[in-house]
Amino acid sequence: MNISKSGEITIKGISGSPGICIGKAYIVDREGVNITKRYPVSGDRVQKEIDRFKQAVSKAKNDHAQIIESLDEDLIENLNILETHMVLFKDKMLYGRTIDTISNEKINAEWALRKVSRKVKIMFQQIDDQYLQDRVNDIVQVSDKIMSNLVGAQDIKISDINKRVILVAHDLSPADASQIQLERIKGFVTDRGGKDSHTSIVAKSLKIPSVLGLGTATVRVKNNDILIVDGSSGTLIINPEEDTLFKYEDRLARFEEYRADIERDSHLPAVTKDGVSLNLMANIELVEEVVAAKDYGATDIGLFRTEFLYLDLKRFPTEDELLCKYKELVELMSPQSVTIRTLDINGDKVNPYLTTIEEANPSLGMRAVRFCLENQDVFITQLKAIFRAAAFGNIKLLIPMISCVEEIIQVKQVIDKAILELEQEDKIFNKDIPLGIMIEVPSAAILAEHLADHVDFFSIGTNDLIQYSMAIDRRNRRVAHLYQALNPAVLRLIKMTYDAAKKKKIDLVMCGEMAGDPVNIPVLVGIGLTEFSMNPASIPVVKKLIRDLDTKKVKKNVNKIMKLNRTQEIYDFILKEYKDVLPFRDTDE
């Protein structure tokens, strides 16, 4: 946080949705209800306490249903997000465990809900997948709604706000965001939230600027303060100086011009100026996200995360339950391909229904393929469902976190077992599907040429590759600055992987967040990559950049970039060389 002599305050947060807005602050008191009192409930009153909890859930659910029914046509695409919250109101992790806690511990409903929601929150935060970590917000938001009803707190109706303002809140749920009237609300900022949160997704669909994860916005901002919300860079400026206002008014005009340009040409293909065609795919987690992926122009699903169903149950899903989801997905995408990544969770932290040993560092422990090889019955069940779904569409199988040749050999042995079981059970399936591995561990990049002998394609997972290469925890704010996609070491590992894939003549895709940031694209295309999978909303912007690139120039520039040894040097070089084609960026340069 920076404070100027004139009192201008600048706070950095997380970009929720791009754009700039300038206006007066409107504080939404969404702090949540703090429950500090725990009291016992006598045996004869336990059922009444459970009924009180159920009534609070029912009221919250009914209120949520009314919001869904009142959705404008422009927000129908977010229906699946709001319906996810509807399911969470009766989710076993939250609803079932709270009732069990009231009954078993004989305590008040408020304290039981608080205890359960905290446990679930910790469980999600320990998953080493940023997208799934951001689902914590969904749990917290649903819990807050129920808690408000339990204590009789007054709810806020954002739809009733009749001023032209910028919302400032501790947190906003997707349901809150969906009530925003575009003619009144210019944008919003929150203390909580993350880049891939459902609230961020709704904000992007509304096309209003938002900054999340500010931490102290509700403390620093007062009603009617003048605010500048820079959603592109994740910056909030409170009571800006006159020069700052002029500067941002100019940026706002340029951003609106840029956005109109993007939307006008979003249907055009991803082909470079010299005729090289690139393939842009989508990363998704829910089947319902297929609609958005297609709307944004994704050619295929380059990464389907399969963890959500496992996290949503108190048991492992059955083969038929998994088949139902996968079959629906591939049929919706047919004839385009769907790359299904096998289970990437850490057993002892995520699955309370599995007895395992506590680990000091789950990110480096029994997660992803290691967990699956240790629990082959779980792995075989998922593999069988994937092969069966492949009879109905175009599927590719992707194995996460392979770190050595021995692991992929073991995986192929388990695949053979799964196929044998399907044959013995006389089930309809397709075993002839491409097999790929994620290159997200430095050892895999180093061994890429040898690993290529065992698979049909590589998929570079830059989120973990950067984290493990730099030996940092992405969630640790004190070292987060070291998480740099353009670090020379990371670029060398990517180049090493590309060279191995090219030599062995196998396909190569990049599916990490690095692929969705336009500033990285000239380097990646220069290295030789032609297939990228990203957040669906990033596709139109990346498409436009690709259409402005000349592959001969980017390849020549990459030779220069690979000789640089500092991240900032590389970043500055890109900004200088591609300043005329990079998307609108909020910088002072």
| 475: helix, strand or coil | coil
| Residue 64 near residue 205 (C-beta atoms within 8 A) | no
Domains of the chain, each with CATH number or no CATH: 2-30+156-240 (3.50.30.10), 43-151 (1.10.274.10), 278-433 (3.20.20.60), 439-581 (3.20.20.60)
Q: What is the rounded distance in angstroms from the CA atom of residue 91 to the CA atom of residue 372?
A: 25
C-alpha 360/C-alpha 412 separation (Å) is 30
Is this structure's pTM higher than 0.85?
A: no
Cα angle, residue 463 at apex, residues 584 and 81 outer, rounded to 5° = 75
CA distance 378 to 376: 5
| pLDDT 10s digits, 383-432 | 999 999 999 999 999 999 999 999 999 999 999 999 999 999 999 999 99
Among 21, 85, 372, 511, which one carries the catalytic annotation?
A: 511
- For 305-462, strand residue ranges (E) read 337-341, 394-399, 435-439, 457-460
SS3 state at 403: coil
Map tokens 């395992």 to a residue. Answer: 356
Distance CA 533, CA 544 (A): 16
pLDDT tens for each residue of the chain, 589 residues long: 666 666 789 998 888 788 899 999 988 764 444 555 778 888 778 898 888 888 888 887 777 666 566 555 554 455 455 555 555 555 566 778 888 888 888 888 888 888 887 777 776 666 555 555 556 666 677 777 787 777 665 556 666 677 788 988 877 765 565 566 667 788 888 887 765 555 666 666 667 888 988 888 888 888 889 999 998 888 999 999 999 999 999 888 888 888 787 777 777 889 999 999 999 999 988 887 888 788 888 999 999 988 877 766 667 899 999 999 999 999 999 999 999 999 987 643 345 445 555 565 666 777 889 999 999 999 999 999 999 999 999 999 999 999 999 999 999 999 999 999 999 999 999 999 999 999 999 999 999 999 999 999 999 999 889 989 988 876 565 676 777 899 999 999 999 999 999 999 999 999 988 998 889 999 999 999 999 999 887 898 899 999 999 999 999 999 999 999 999 999 999 999 998 888 765 444 3
Exposed/middle/buried for residue 210 (C-beta within 10 Å: 0-12, 13-18, 19+): buried
Within a 10 A sphere around the Cβ of 372, how many other Cβ atoms?
Answer: 26
Cα separations in angstroms, 270 against 86, 320, 581: 37, 38, 14
User: HEC states along 482-533?
Assistant: HCCCCCHHHHHHHHHHHHHHHHHCCEEEECCHHHHCHHHHHHHHHHCCCEEE
Bridge partner list, 3: 9
Active site residue 198: yes
* HEC secondary structure over 525-576: HHHCCCEEEECHHHHHHHHHHHHCCCHHHHHHHHHHHCCCCCHHHHHHHHHH
For residue 239 the two structure tokens come to: 């009571």
Q: Could you confirm whether 21 is annotated as catalytic?
A: no
Of 64, 198, 267, 450, catalytic:
198
